[in-house]
Amino acid sequence: MTRFGFTIHATDGKARTGTIAMRRGEIRTPAFMPVGTAATVKAMKPEGVRAAGADIILGNTYHLMLRPGAERVARLGGLHRFMNWDRPILTDSGGYQVMSLSELRKITEEGVTFASHLDGSRHMLSPERSMEIQRLLGSDIVMAFDECPKIDQPRDVIAKSMEMSMRWAQRSRDAFDAGGEHAEGAALFGIQQGALDEGLRNESADALSAIGFDGYAIGGLAVGEGQEAMFATLDFAPGQLPQDRPRYLMGVGKPDDIVGAVERGVDMFDCVLPTRSGRNGQAFTWAGPLNMRNARHAEDTAPLDERCPCPTCTTYSRAYIHHLTKSGEMLGAMLMTEHNLWFYQQLMQALRDAIAAGTLAEFARGFRSDYFRG
């Protein structure tokens, strides 16, 4: 069986639609990966995540290494068995999240030492330890360990950080390849850095291509730069990466971010937005986001979205979801999370269909018109 194959079925402008084939299943691209931070896509059973249309989910190395612990997950048979998800799992490297612990961590060439946000205990992450943890978890797509710098720093700071990330990319590659049986079944992605700078992004892409990865992530974006700056970077960054490998934009994003990034040649996404919003009373619809706490929904018998075939929309009214949300009922979070995951997967399917039909520009125009008029 294929360890990792990527077939592009059709292109439309810079956009591509295809299939990633892996031992645990196929991933249709462009793909959106729901985030399962702590070995659970919050408020969802795994069968509901699959029913929504997800081919792959994401797990967080940082959270899982602290609780329940990577060695413990390995003793329990790996993350798939632990959480009852038998399809592919991509794990991040933990780099982004430990960098966010601004006061609690120290970065050296060797790696990062940091204090757990749970109990203050000291931990270390390096390319080697990150690869070990992702192997212990049984990850299908392993991410290289990188530094994700603050975006608004001088070019030389961004350059130095990117260069260290490229040395860490080589160390990640070496450590991954030494992983024995796990390396035979899993894939390793490199992560391009360089913030908003075209030259640095190009250097980073060249360094990664020289090492060689199964796929390539665009890192360091969606960190507060805004959509305009992100799209400006995506006008050149995906094209710097190998044409025949999947390109993964990490941590993105809002539905309109995803549409714009797909138009610019991105194949994979992950974001907490559909799940987190579902717990905070926000529903995504083709007519834009809805705040379900708003009293105008109190007697509205319509579903969240008239066009949505999800279990929430075919069963429950806005009035009921408003009531649950106002009452702080868990079922409100459950129903809205489910709807939001379905909405995101329907959006991805619509993007795949439009690319296959060669009508992406028209689809994107119509999407934005409906979404921002709502």
Binding site for a second copy (CB under 8 A): 38-40, 42-45, 67-68, 72, 75-77, 82-84, 279, 298-299, 301, 315-317, 319-320, 323-324, 326-327, 329-331, 333-334
Give catalytic status of residue 119 as yes or no: no
Residue ranges with strand state E in the chain:
5-12, 15-22, 25-29, 31-34, 57-59, 89-91, 105-107, 112-115, 122-125, 141-143, 187-192, 215-218, 247-249, 268-271, 282-283, 290-291
Q: Report in angstroms how near the CB of residue 327 gets to a second copy at its nearest.
A: 5
Active-site annotation holder among 92, 140, 257, 267: 92
Helix axes 360-373, 255-263, angle to 10 degrees: 160
Q: Looking at beta carbons only, is 1 or 118 nearer to a second copy?
A: 118
Active-site annotation holder among 12, 140, 146, 270: 270
Strand pairing partners for 118? Answer: none
Q: Report in angstroms how near the CB of residue 279 gets to a second copy at its nearest.
A: 8
Q: Looking at beta carbons only, is 148 or 321 nearer to a second copy?
A: 321
Look at residue 362 and give its three-state secondary structure: helix
Q: Report in angstroms how near the CB of residue 278 gets to a second copy at its nearest.
A: 10
The encoded tokens of residue 121 equal 């205990």
- The label of the residue with tokens 């603050």 reads 150
Q: Report in angstroms how near the CB of residue 188 gets to a second copy at its nearest.
A: 27
Q: What is the DSSP string of 156-197?
A: HHHHHHHHHHHHHHHHHHHHHHTTTHHHHH-EEEEEE--TT-
Q: Looking at beta carbons only, is 83 or 195 nearer to a second copy?
A: 83
Q: Looking at beta carbons only, is 82 or 343 nearer to a second copy?
A: 82
Give catalytic status of residue 270 as yes or no: yes
| Residues with active-site annotation | 92, 270
